[in-house]
Amino acid sequence: MLETAKSYAVLEEELQRLQRIGVALLGDVTDSIIAEYIWIGGSGTDMRSKARTLPGPVKSPEELPRWNYDGSSTGQAPGKDSEVILYPQAIFKDPFRRGDNILVICDCYTPQGQPIPTNKRAAAAKIFSQVEVSNEEPWYGLEQEYTLLQKEVKWPLGWPIGGYPGPQGPYYCGIGVDKAWGRDIVDAHYKACLYAGIQIGGINGEVMPGQWEFQVGPALGITAGDQLWAARYILERITEIAGVVLSLDPKPVEGDWNGAGCHTNFSTKSMRREGGFRVIKDAIEKLEKRHKAHIAAYGEGNERRLTGKHETASMNTFSWGVANRGASIRVGRDTEAEGKGYFEDRRPASNMDPYIVTSMIAETTILFQQNHPRCLSCQH
Amino acid sequence: MLTPSSLAFFENLDLSEVTKQIIAEYIWIGGSGCDLRSKARTLSCSMTSPKDLPKWNYDGSSTGQAQGDDSEVILYPQAIFRDPFRGGHNILVICDTYSPKGEPLPSNNRARAARIFETEEVAMEEPWFGLEQEYTLLQKDINWPLGWPVGGYPAPQGPYYCGVGANKAWGRDIVNAHYKACLYAGVKVSGINGEVMPGQWEFQVGPCVGLDAGDHLICARYILERMTEIANVVLSFEPKPIPTGEWNGAGCHTNYSTKSMRSAGGYEVIREAIEKLGLRHKEHIALYGEGNEKRLTGKHETASMDKFSWGVADRGASIRVGRETEADGKGYFEDRRPSANMDPYLVTSMIAETTLLWKPVGLKEKASA
């Protein structure tokens, strides 16, 4: 017994020593920095990362070298030709390592320079760089909902094992130990994102207990996707620390429980100007015409969530309304009153790929002409 | 020591080194009239005046305050306090709730209170309030008071009031943490004490002028429930949490004075005010908190709900006047009728309205605003 107690105490001391080093700012002793390269894996939602030492400080992605990883271990390449190349695209301050250390959002290419099939950023970048789109300065606000699950049982955090909490009602923006479960994770994530330089606009507790939301934006064009992925990465690192599982499943619990979405708020320069309400209505009409194509790309498993109940619109019908949370697209009262502003696409699921959704909305509303389709990915 | 391998490290991050942005937690009262709700947003820089803060909105259909197809409820920032949980320049914002057309929601008692406190007769009298908020701490999941044996009862009341010791004071860490957090936030907390029923505590807010009393009390309640959330304990403002047996209820006694009451000859003004309150007893009692009839039994230091009474140093009366006030000939009085779950905007404005604006039958009766 004594032997075990002694070795445990030694381990504790060792841990504390390592933690003190972890807190130490390397900038005191070296010009090197640590860059954590982050990419999206083969499922389209699993995030991966690894770190490397580089001479610092680094101010922009162009200064960073490309890298590579073993794609056969992430379902993205065959074993005998497994190298996938990482192109650095966006930099954020690393809230975990601090100092001059950075997080790097990357996308993935074959050695020949082709985006691999799971790389949705490349096609999005093409859309956002088109003159008609960039002229319109498309802004996005992404409302990322997510559910926290207990580690061993995959049941929502705070829910009794083998049972359910009291019905929905008290939890939305609720406080108190009987109403808010996981706030420490949410608040730690909020500050970590602000530290990282992500434009995180806010947080709130959601209708289903154990479910939360944060918002990213307003972000311009392709940066919306970069920032959302960086925020998701930081969130999963925070839940890792907390010993809790992060779920982006759109309907984590069947029954009278809300699902999780990623409502996407959108506006263009024309919509934000005088007379913008007309432009908004035109845009919504175009989205209606391409409803099927959008819905197919708005997240796996969304059909379990978009039932027409629990503040969603039914998956098969397209609708829109002012202040209507049961519609596919909601326009705020502010926007209606001022005659200009933005609208909210409520269809995307929490596990959507923001590169796909943001670029599709831009494509449909700015590029899509009903009789002259120039769009790159339409399916009608 | 906080390291990046703990959440507390991030919760306590001082962002002022990297950004001017601050986080503002907007707080409002939900559809039950007692449930507090909040959500946070990032602001580009530090703000000190509520007028500088943007209005916001929330989904009223999720709080019982709007329909799903027309769900926006607008938040008007009304008071700012420092955020004791996030530190730095981050803030708590007490808001009240309006329809998109600018009408206060039915559950918004602050708007009406504001009008009463702004009337000339009331403003001139500088009404002060001291609110004694009692509350009960409950064990999570079983909702039985903190420290009470599960399936049983503690020894009878007697040793617990202001008591010390592991067999007499249950939850002091929450109470003391709340006290300092409120002082940090800028909430005017004037004191705390352990109550007669074990697991029950009290804090006092005041003296505050007019509308401030409600704002400070709501902020104090918010901070308290965030504290109990951290402590894994349930907060209850139930007026009679243990309805059977010899156990006290929980009230929110409201102390009150006006400039006239605080000046020489004030005692007579106090007696007149109490008379008016006696004439409107039914109206007040109806709005002094849900479930109050379980608490105001005439026992356990309460007056019976149906009878109005007052007395010097009398804790069994509806209204108590302190011995000091009687001796000085001026001072304040204590309305002991409000329950712990009362709406402070409603109670404070009603007392001001009845004592300063209302004229009994016979004289011209002023209709309330």
Domain ranges in chain A?
Answer: 31-119, 131-367
Q: How many independent structural domains does chain B possess?
A: 2
Q: What whole-number distance in Å separates Cα of residue B221 and Cα of residue B216?
A: 9
Enumerate the residues of chain A whose CB falls inside 8 A of the CB of residue B55: none
Q: What whole-number distance in Å separates Cα of residue B26 and Cα of residue B202?
A: 25
DSSP string covering B160-217: -TT--STTT---HHHHHHHHHHHHHHT--EEEEEE-SSTTEEEEEEEEEETTHHHHHH
The reply to whether B5 falls in a domain is: no
Q: What mean pLDDT do residues B258-272 have?
A: 97
pLDDT band at residue A168, thresholds of 50, 70 and 90?
Answer: very high
pLDDT at A80 (0 to 100):
87
The reply to whether B3 falls in a domain is: no
Percent of chain A having pLDDT more than 90? 81
pLDDT surpasses 70 at B274: yes
CA atoms within 13 A on the CB side of B82: 13
Q: Are A140 and A262 within 8 A, CB to CB?
A: no
**How many Cβ atoms sit within 10 Å of the Cβ of residue B197?**
23
Percent of chain A having pLDDT more than 70? 90
pLDDT at A376 (0 to 100):
47
User: Residue B90 is part of a domain; what is its CATH number?
Assistant: 3.10.20.70
pLDDT surpasses 50 at B366: no
The reply to whether B13 falls in a domain is: no
Mutate to test the interface with B, among A93, A159, A173, A265 (most CBs of B within 10 A): A173
The position carrying tokens 């997080």 is A103
Q: Is the peptide bond before A160 cis (omega within 30 degrees of 0)?
A: no
| SS3 per-residue string spanning A1-63 | CHHHHHHHHHHHHHHHHHHHHHHCCHHHCCCEEEEEEEEECCCCCCEEEEEEEEECCCCCHHH
The reply to whether B10 falls in a domain is: no
Give ∠ CA A332-A336-A338 in degrees, rounded to 5.
115
Q: What mean pLDDT do residues A107-120 have?
A: 96
Do residues B163 and B39 share a domain? no
pLDDT tens-digit readout, A287-301? 999 999 999 999 999
Query: Do A31-119 and A131-367 fold alike per CATH?
Result: no
pLDDT at A258 (0 to 100):
95
The reply to whether B299 falls in a domain is: yes
pLDDT at B367 (0 to 100):
47
Do residues B38 and B95 share a domain? yes
Q: What whole-number distance in Å separates Cα of residue A315 and Cα of residue A295?
A: 7
pLDDT tens-digit readout, A191-216? 999 999 999 999 999 999 999 999 99
What would the two tokens of residue A269 be? 């320069």
Closest CB to A175 among B18, B57, B226: B226
CA B217 to chain centroid: 4
pLDDT surpasses 60 at B90: yes
Q: Is A2 on the interface with B (CB under 8 A)?
A: no
Dihedral sign computed on CA atoms, order B291, B292, B297, B301: positive
Look at residues B39, B56, B55, B44 and name the one whose alpha carbon lies nearest to residue B89. Answer: B44
pLDDT at A380 (0 to 100):
40
Do residues B355 and B210 share a domain? yes
Q: Cβ separation of B6 and A241 shorter than 8 Å?
A: yes
Do residues B93 and B180 share a domain? no
pLDDT at A30 (0 to 100):
78
Look at residues A102, A98, A22, A113 and name the one whose alpha carbon lies nearest to residue A66. Answer: A113
Closest CB to A180 among B1, B229, B231: B229
Do residues B349 and B225 share a domain? yes
* Sequence-ordered list of residues with C-beta below 8 angstroms from that of A5, at least 6 positions apart, any chain: none
For β-strands A262-267 and A343-345, DSSP reports them as antiparallel
Q: What whole-number distance in Å separates Cα of residue B213 and Cα of residue A327?
A: 41
Among candidate residues B107, B138, B158, the one where a domain is terminated:
B107
Enumerate the residues of chain A whose CB falls inside 8 A of the CB of residue B5: 19, 22, 241
Do residues B142 and B102 share a domain? no
Among candidate residues B107, B140, B171, the one where a domain is terminated:
B107
Q: Is A128 exposed, middle or buried (0-12, 13-18, 19+ CB in 10 A)?
A: buried
User: Residue B223 is part of a domain; what is its CATH number?
Assistant: 3.30.590.10
Comparing alpha-carbon positions, the chain A residue that sits nearest to B11 is A188
Q: Are B310 and B274 within 8 A, CB to CB?
A: yes
Conformation bin of residue B126: beta by default, left when phi > 0, alpha when psi is -120 to 50: left
Enumerate the residues of chain B whose CB falls inside 8 A of the CB of residue A27: none
If you count residue pairs, one on A and one on B, with CB atoms under 8 Å apart, how many are there? 142
pLDDT tens-digit readout, B96-119? 999 989 999 999 999 999 999 999
Residue ranges of alpha helices (H) inside chain A are 2-23, 121-129, 131-135, 183-196, 222-242, 269-272, 276-289, 291-296, 333-338, 354-362
* Sequence-ordered list of residues with C-beta below 8 angstroms from that of A233, at least 6 positions apart, any chain: A38, A47, A49, A103
Q: Cβ separation of B231 and A311 shorter than 8 Å?
A: no
Look at residues B215, B216, B210 and name the one whose alpha carbon lies nearest to residue B127. Answer: B210
Helix (H) or strand (E) holding B9: helix B7-11
pLDDT at A35 (0 to 100):
96
Q: What whole-number distance in Å separates Cα of residue A345 and Cα of residue A327?
A: 9
* Sequence-ordered list of residues with C-beta below 8 angstroms from that of A14, at least 6 positions apart, any chain: none
Could you tell me the CA-to-CA distances from B271 to A235, B191, B276, B335, B358 in Å, in that order? 61, 28, 9, 13, 15
Q: Cβ separation of B222 and A175 shorter than 8 Å?
A: yes
| SS3 per-residue string spanning B295-357 | CCECCCCCCECCCCCEEECCCCCCEEECHHHHHHCCCCEEECCCECCCCHHHHHHHHHHHHHH
Q: Cβ separation of B23 and A332 shorter than 8 Å?
A: no
For β-strands B200-209 and A200-205, DSSP reports them as unpaired
pLDDT surpasses 60 at B344: yes
Q: What whole-number distance in Å separates Cα of residue A220 and Cα of residue A107?
A: 18
Do residues B132 and B93 share a domain? no
pLDDT at A17 (0 to 100):
72
Range scoring the smallest mean pLDDT among A4-18, A351-365, B214-228: A4-18
* Sequence-ordered list of residues with C-beta below 8 angstroms from that of A282, at least 6 positions apart, any chain: A365
**What residue numbers bound the domain in which B303 lies?**
120-368
Do residues B137 and B74 share a domain? no
Strand partners, B254: B131, B335
Q: Are B94 and B27 within 8 A, CB to CB?
A: yes
Comparing alpha-carbon positions, the chain B residue that sits nearest to A24 is B3
Chain A, residues 61-90, CB within 8 A of chain B, namely: none
Do residues B180 and B293 share a domain? yes
Do residues B308 and B211 share a domain? yes
Give the CATH architecture of domain A131-367.
2-Layer Sandwich (3.30)
Q: What whole-number distance in Å separates Cα of residue A335 and Cα of residue A276?
A: 9
Q: What whole-number distance in Å separates Cα of residue A149 and Cα of residue A211?
A: 9
Do residues B140 and B45 share a domain? no
Among candidate residues B78, B107, B136, the one where a domain is terminated:
B107
pLDDT at A308 (0 to 100):
85
The reply to whether B12 falls in a domain is: no
Q: What whole-number distance in Å separates Cα of residue A164 and Cα of residue A177?
A: 16
Do residues B99 and B145 share a domain? no
Helix (H) or strand (E) holding B118: helix B109-118
Q: What topology does CATH give the domain A31-119?
A: Ubiquitin-like (UB roll) (3.10.20)
The reply to whether B198 falls in a domain is: yes
A7 or B215, greater pLDDT: B215
